[in-house]
């Protein structure tokens, strides 16, 4: 699989605590599963987090 080596939050409507929890969640997802087709491998993956109210 692929290891998460860096997380960048580009937009965040939450406070600093929320932003840090998003970053931690992405790091915790490591290692990411290897795709069945190596051509599908992407070095950057975009995640959209939407908190439940």
SS3 content of the chain, % helix, strand, coil (to 5): 30, 5, 65
- The residues pairing with 32 across neighbouring beta strands, listed in sequence order, are 2
Q: What is the pLDDT of residue 45?
A: 79
User: With contact defined as beta carbons under 8 Å apart, do 2 and 32 qualify?
Assistant: yes
Tens of pLDDT, residue by residue, the chain (53 residues): 688 888 988 888 888 998 898 899 889 988 888 878 877 777 787 888 777 77
Q: Is the pTM of this model over 0.85?
A: no
Domain residue ranges of the chain, discontinuous segments joined by + = 1-53
Q: What is the pLDDT of residue 49?
A: 78
As a whole number of angstroms, the distance between CA 39 and CA 26 comes to 23
The terminus-to-terminus CA distance of the chain in angstroms comes to 33
Q: What is the pLDDT of residue 28?
A: 93
Q: What is the pLDDT of residue 37?
A: 83
Q: What is the pLDDT of residue 27?
A: 92
């Amino acid at each position: 699989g692929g290891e998460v080596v860096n997380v960048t939050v580009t937009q965040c409507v939450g406070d600093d605590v929320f932003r840090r929890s998003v970053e931690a969640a992405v790091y915790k997802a490591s290692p990411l599963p290897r795709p069945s087709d190596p051509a599908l491998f992407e070095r950057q993956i975009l995640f959209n987090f939407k908190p439940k109210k």
